[in-house]
A and B are shown apart, each in its own frame.
Chain A
Amino acid sequence: MIINNLYPDGTSRWWTGDTYHQYEDVLSETAGQYGFTGFKPDSYYLGWIKKENLPVIALHSSCTVDDTVYTFVEDTDEDNFPVGYVYSNTNRNFMQNGEMIKNDDDTYSTQYSGLCYINQWYPEYSAYYTSSNASNIQIYCYAYISDAGGNFVTRTSFSHSNMTGLNSSDVRSCYNFLHYDVPITVDFGSQYGTLEFLSSDLDEGTFYKETSNGYFARVFLISYIVPSQVYIKHATDSLVRITQFEPFSSITYGGKTGSYSKTLLYGFGGYSGYARRNYQNNFSWLFVNNTSYGQKQGDLLVGMQGTIDISLLNSLHPYMWDGNVLAEWRQYSGSLFEVDFYCIMTRQDIRKSFSMHFRVDLANYTKGYVNGVTYATDVTAQDEFLARLKTGDLINPEFKNSLRPWQYENFQENDFTEEDVPPYEPEPEPGGDTPSEEPEDMPHDEGDPAGLQDRTIPAPSLFITQYALTYEDVQAVGANLWQSWLTPSTDVWKNFFLPYSQDFGTLNIGAALDCIISLRAYPFDIPLDVLLPAANGVRMGTGHTDFLGYATAKVNASTCKIPLGDCVVKPKTPYEDFRDMYNTSVSCFLPYCGTVELNPPEVMNRTLHCYYCIDFQSGGCTAFITLDGDEGEYIIASKSGQIGFLLPITATNAGQLAAQKGQDAVETIGTLAGFFFDVAGELAQSSENAIKALAGIESGKSDKDSVPIGTTLTSSLKIGESGVNTGLALANQALKRLSRSGVGVPAISGGSGIEAIYAPDTAVISIRRGKYAKPINYPHSQAHLNGSSGQIGTFKGDWGKYTPKTGKGLCKFTGVDTTGLKCHDDERAEIVALLESGVYI
């Protein structure tokens, strides 16, 4: 791993402390500020680490002398991280959406201004804002500094002040754009240890500038344990302690205010103020090896932060990839250290190193262990390259990682080996009059885009209440329902027999049971944005009895939308031709719904989005797959299913569930056999005889096992609670006659069966494509279809990967216009013949 300052020409250029070396393009130096002009694509400052084709830069915060827009960009692959905004002191374009400016042809602009995005290889780069007044914003950033030999020297910081004209919204956007991960340390006391994570790990966490002195850091954390103290790491490595905790009751979050019980739900925020605490001044830089490393495809940068015992840290090194670890550890207290370490590892090494070691040894550490690092146990999933290890159960395992891998998103897996085919590269611009990258007849953006609407239906909260409970809450309610009446009470007879006790304002058990409609389990955490606090616990009907005993939360909407994020369908045919489209099939498995087929020409090389729309009333769901169009996302596929699993806790529930299962079974078979049911669940007239035949029941007769002899199956036969047996019997009979696998198993494709929880819960896009025999030196001997016109000389390309020997590539031409040739006639004919048969240019 290259640490700092290795420029493309191999020289080192360093910053030391507050001074910088005079580079060729540095024109001036002003005390307290550092000015540069003339940034060039190959020139980087302050340190530069290049990873493949992704040069990134650590930029000094003060980088302007004039209004010149500084530029660099090298990588044009949109799937990599944006690289390098250069901040212009007077041009505040970075305060925009923070995206790289694209040219009209979708290449990235090589000239733009914006705030620098520090590369992910720096262990701790932080830039954030503090202000001494409403209009004065400061930016801090720092980077590691090494000497010419690559040995670590120090870490320096820079600051730029007097960024006037900004407001809190500007800071916010810039903060988010920076992917600024604020290290947060939560100390739960000696019994539970400490937890560290980055603000980006939280579901919701924002930092924004206060208008008063200092800045306000808001952290939302759901915890079973009240933390004793919380720290936010300051850029100068000191810890800023959150001195004021604000319970949710006084915080407006998501537009909703309310209070939560501190025993179950604790949120806090606070002012950083000026209370700062420094680590004990025992800093040690542990450099295992800072030599350069030649990255290869499949390598991953793994960076983690967390608390760790020093002995554990040292013992990890043998498992790290030799020579590619940068570890920074600071002695916190005693033998407890805070550690950041970064290394490059293959997926196999990650699993080997972290799983083997952490899982075994961490149990011996009662304090200072790596919190919240979970381990991927699926060793067969090549895409699971996150080394995640679950610690013990001292801390709620749903806390985000303390050791968090860095920048693993968007890693593009390439399943070709180097000796197989050349690496995938973006399609270069054809020469001359070229066809568009996507032919015009591709049905991409035809018609008005129809995407998911951003809306919801409120819950009928005055008629019903839907409490969002944990499993422990469910147990507590059950206990209060069925066990609390055992508690001796002088008025037990009133509480048990009377529906409502006006004397006590309580609801007795029997009446309570009548109020329960359903209990459903969902395979996801109910989103916070549809929750309201239920300060009075779980109540039913009109009673005041709290059947939970503490505050909880309730759902205020009948629906919610859960995004599954993005997935890019990359073409992978090594010869990059039509077979990505026409000899390829693309399907998407949607958990709890089933599989949908996608159209390869529509999705190839496109980014797909997936959303689940949940119906809390029925537990149903519909999964939507969308694409980005010119006017927004539009839906290309959808499939419905059942995602809320009904847990029968009353007799009515049980009957409903059985009926539903029977209905599902019959409908599944019926669907396969072409039957259909009307809304009431009644067999359509035309399907009557068919299903009877399927079940082996002759017209006018009945299945003796299920229906009384003599009963005629008619279209009025309903599959309901009273007809459960009939429906199930029909299904069972039909099952015997249908050999197709999967029949009658609603769990896989949806259905009310709880057994669906065993189905896969990860949406997966499967691309089936042919793998073709690779002709030896195919591109150089056959060349690819081009189909464009232009000057012959413009068809030169980067031949290096194809013809490393000669640097020239094969081209064939037809329709040659020989105007301009000043040769003899027979030479002209020979030239044309050679061009048509193929020449190397």
Chain B
Amino acid sequence: MTINFYTVEDDPRTVEKSLGNSIHSPDANIFGSCSVKNPVLILAYDSILLSANYFEIPDWHRFYFMGEPTLSPGGRCVVQGRVDVLMSNKDDILKLDAYCSRCESKFERYAVDSAPLSLVTTTVTNLQFSNHPFSAPGTLRQYLLTVKGGSL
């Protein structure tokens, strides 16, 4: 089977990681026992393995976080992996129904949230209405002279 090694920068908590192109894709065979969840791989040494931190075993449909590789005699490199359950099941995870308690970009604006820090200062914003009809009486028709009669 083929193992694809990657250098991944995403946070381990990222569901769908950005893999980019595989940096090393050696073939491998299983000899003896091998855990699917925490496999230990014995590979031919290749310096590029030292820059990988993530690998995929397509046949097992799983992705793994890669631990520190151990160089062993005989030109070998021992690689330990820990299954990344998020990436391995990303399609199913994204379809799960759940209650979202917090979300970075979608939120209920007016829900009480105790997480942010407390008040620091008070700001005042002044807004005006769109019309400003008032001004000091000047030369316009702004004086009302009320008289008795005079309707003629």
Residues of A that sit less than 8 Å from B by CB: 383, 396, 398, 409, 415, 427-432, 435, 437, 439, 461-474, 477, 514-526, 531, 536, 538-542, 544, 553, 555, 562-569, 571-572, 575-578, 580-583, 591-592, 601, 608, 610, 612, 616, 644-645, 647, 757, 761-773, 775, 778-780, 782-793, 795, 797-799, 802-803, 806, 808-824, 826-827, 830-831, 834-835, 837-841
Contact = CB atoms under 8 A, between A and B. Distances in A.
A610 B145 contact: no
Question: Closest 6 A-B residue pairs measured CB to CB?
Answer: A797-B105, A565-B130, A793-B94, A809-B104, A784-B107, A565-B131
A815 B97 CA distance: 8
B144 A767 contact: no
B129 interface: yes
Nearest to B100: A786
Contact of B116 (A536, A541, A571, A778): A778
Given A439-B110, A520-B143, A541-B147, A817 B97 contact: yes
A831 B128 contact: no
Interface in B43-84: 83
Interface string B91-120: 011111111111111111111110111111
Contact of A820 (B92, B110, B121, B126): B92
B152 to A, nearest CB: 5
Contact of A839 (B14, B145, B151): B14
Nearest to B130: A565
Given A470-B143, A526-B142, A767-B127, A784 B102 contact: yes
Nearest to B104: A809
B136 interface: yes
A431 B96 CA distance: 13
Contact of A822 (B89, B101, B125, B144): B89
Contacts of B109: 427, 437, 571, 576-578, 580
Q: Identify which of B85, B102, B104, B119 gathers the most chain A CB atoms within 10 Å of its CB.
A: B104
A576 B115 CA distance: 13
A616 B142 CA distance: 11
B20 interface: no
Contacts of B124: 766-768
A443 B137 CA distance: 40
Contact of A469 (B97, B99, B145): B145
A569 B130 contact: no
A818 B88 contact: no
A462 B151 CA distance: 6
A841 B90 CA distance: 10
Contact of B130 (A409, A521, A616): A409
B147 A465 contact: yes
Contact of B85 (A470, A789, A823): A823
B122 interface: yes
Contact of B149 (A541, A582, A839): A541
Contacts of B88: 823, 827
A648 B31 CA distance: 111
Nearest to B99: A815
B139 interface: yes
A816 B131 CA distance: 53
Given A461-B151, A616-B144, A840-B10, A787 B111 contact: yes
A432 B111 CA distance: 17
A821 B131 contact: no
Contacts of A791: 94-98
Residue among A437, A474, A523, A797 with max Cβ neighbours from chain B (10 Å): A523
B129 to A, nearest CB: 4
B141 to A, nearest CB: 5
Contacts of A468: 141-144
Nearest to A761: B134
A379 to B, nearest CB: 16
Contacts of A592: 134
Contact of A813 (B101, B138, B145): B101
B69 to A, nearest CB: 24
B151 A808 contact: no
Contact of A772 (B18, B120, B131, B142): B120
A590 B82 CA distance: 68
Contacts of B99: 788-789, 813-815
A578 B99 CA distance: 20
A470 B142 CA distance: 6
A442 to B, nearest CB: 8
A470 B106 contact: no
A296 to B, nearest CB: 20
B106 A428 contact: yes
Contacts of B150: 464-465, 467, 515, 538-541
B8 to A, nearest CB: 11
Contact of B89 (A773, A797, A813, A831): A831
A786 B134 contact: no
Contact of A471 (B86, B112, B135, B143): B143
B105 A428 contact: yes
A525 B104 CA distance: 52
B135 A761 contact: yes
Contact of B141 (A470, A477, A565, A763): A470
A217 B88 CA distance: 73
Contact of A840 (B15, B100, B135, B145): B15
